[in-house]
Amino acid sequence: MKTRMAAGVLALAGLLAAGPAVGEALPLKIDAEHSTVAFKVRHLFTRVAGQFRKFEGTIEFDRASLAASKVAVTIQADSIDTNVEARDKDLRSPRFFDVAKFPTLTFVSTGITGVAGQRGQIRGTLTMHGVSRDVVLATEFLGAGKDPWGNTRYGFQAVTTVNRKDFGMAWNEVIEAGGVLVGDEVEIVLDVEAVPAR
Domain CATH number, residue 73:
2.40.128.110
- 3-class secondary-structure state, position 123: strand
Asked if residues 66 and 115 have their Cβ atoms less than 8 Å apart, the reply is yes
Whole-angstrom distance, CA of residue 107 vs CA of residue 134: 9
pTM of the model: 0.82
Tell me the mean pLDDT in the region 148-172.
90
In one letter, which amino acid is 184? D
The rounded percent of the chain whose pLDDT value lies above 70 is 81
pLDDT interval class at 17 (50, 70, 90): very low
Q: What is the domain count for the chain?
A: 1
What pLDDT does residue 71 have? 92
Residue 49 lies in a domain: yes
Whole-angstrom distance, CA of residue 89 vs CA of residue 80: 9
- 3-class secondary-structure state, position 164: helix
Residue 3 lies in a domain: no
User: Which of 107, 164, 116 lies closest to 135 in space, CA to CA?
Assistant: 107
Residue 95 lies in a domain: yes
Determine how many CB atoms are found less than 10 A away from the CB of residue 67.
10
Tell me the mean pLDDT in the region 15-24.
48
